[in-house]
Amino acid sequence: MTYSIKIPNGIMTFVESKAECPHCERHIPFDEIEEKWVKQEKHYMRMKCKCKRFIGITCMMNGDFVAYSLK
């Protein structure tokens, strides 16, 4: 499944996020990541899952987001 978002110059298409919380195994929807992702400039970020634990998110070369547990 792909996702399309509108950007000022057109439409950007992403594949569905494959990120899964390493703590509660919840699948993290793309839009939940994307809205935080656009605000940061690094290649990884920290976000809080609905289970109230912090997880790391990074983006793979193919555009997939993946989640990992923070140490």
- Contacts with Zn ion, residue ranges (CB under 5 A): 21, 23-24, 26, 49, 51
Q: How far is the CB of 28 from Zn ion (least distance, A)?
A: 8
For the purposes of burial, counting CB atoms within 10 Å of the CB of 23, is it exposed (0-12), middle (13-18) or buried (19 or more)? middle
The distance of closest approach from Cβ of residue 51 to Zn ion in the complex, given in angstroms and rounded to an integer, is 3
Q: Which residues pair with 45 in a beta bridge?
A: 57
CB of 22 to Zn ion, least distance (A): 8
H or E element that contains 13: strand 10-15
Pairing mode, strands 54-59 and 65-69: antiparallel
Q: Between residues 5 and 70, which has the closer beta carbon with respect to Zn ion?
A: 70
Nearer to Zn ion, 19 or 49 (CB): 49
Nearer to Zn ion (CB atom), residue 44 or residue 54: 54
